[in-house]
Amino acid sequence: MKRELSVNMHLERLINLLEIIAVAGRPVSVAEVQRATDLPKPTCYRLIQSLVEQKLIDEPSEDGRYVIGERLIRIALLGKSDVDVRRCAAPLMRMAASNFNETVFLARFRDSKVEIIHIETPDDPARAFIHPGLGVRPMHACSCSKAIAAFAEPEFREVIVTGGLKEYTEHTKTSEAELRREFETIVARGFADCDQEIDIGIASVAAPVSIGNIGATFSVGAVGPIRRFGTDYRMEIGEKLIALAQKVSGAIQLCNVAEV
């Protein structure tokens, strides 16, 4: 019974420390945490060290100040529903759709698949736009999938390039060598594009959304008719999507930290 109480107290203290660091919204020192908890200094240092060892908090600048760690962010992100993610990203996506005057979308990687989970369309009533629909996209023939796959672990990329590369249109890349070269290009420039690889007359661009050091878990993209989405335009909007992806990453991480 005493051991159980001791374990519960230890766990409660760890959770209390995590809450304090998360709520601060900035790197905090051990001294600040100690004052907030009123724990003895040696106890506070031991608890902080335990959290660091388990990668639940990090010391990003090695200056004795700590933030919520990548592992905890990963845990929170895995448990975050599409509704929660859309809530975090929607304002930025809505603004991008208005600024680009194009349809923008958010895709998510899970269970070895990529699916579009949110779409925002332009406000301009006179603008013809494409609605890509929600759901799973092929890993080798859609910008939202390729933007994620190119930054995935080498083993997973091998599964993609050596798998069945279905030909959707005459523009679909169906050879291993061709897809490997494209992944290299995507990594070099920071975004992927799709030139009528799934549907004739439709093109898209997407940039990976990396969450801390856990890789590209999401991607943001824009889609439209090929008459507008020529090569030069795709390159131009791709650069804008890189900036949007960074903002979306920050928004998702802030939501994670706030809810931890």
Instruction: Convert the pLDDT of each residue in 197-247 to its tens digit.
Output: 999 999 999 999 987 666 678 999 999 999 999 999 999 999 999 999 999
In the block, which residue shows the tokens 């030069």?
232
The tokens for 133 are: 């629909």
Q: Is the pTM of this model over 0.75?
A: no
Average pLDDT, the chain: 85
Using the predicted structure, report yes or no on whether residue 257 has a pLDDT greater than 60. Answer: no
Residue-wise pLDDT for 99-141, tens only, equals 999 999 999 988 778 899 999 999 888 888 889 989 999 989 9
pLDDT range class, residue 53, cuts 50, 70, 90: confident
For 10, 77, 160, 251, the CA distances from 257, given in Å and listed in that order, are 22, 10, 33, 10
The more confidently predicted of residues 155 and 253 is 155
Pairing between β-strand 57-58 and β-strand 216-225 as defined by DSSP bridges:
unpaired
Give the separation between CA 201 and CA 195, rounded to whole angstroms: 8
Give the separation between CA 70 and CA 87, rounded to whole angstroms: 21
Using the predicted structure, report yes or no on whether residue 7 has a pLDDT greater than 80. Answer: no
pLDDT range class, residue 84, cuts 50, 70, 90: confident
The tokens for 183 are: 């992944």
Using the predicted structure, report yes or no on whether residue 260 has a pLDDT greater than 60. Answer: no
Cα–Cα nearest to 65, from 24, 94, 106: 24
Predicted pLDDT of residue 58: 85
Predicted pLDDT of residue 153: 79
Using the predicted structure, report yes or no on whether residue 82 has a pLDDT greater than 80. Answer: no
pLDDT range class, residue 57, cuts 50, 70, 90: confident
Give the separation between CA 260 and CA 254, rounded to whole angstroms: 10
Predicted pLDDT of residue 191: 96
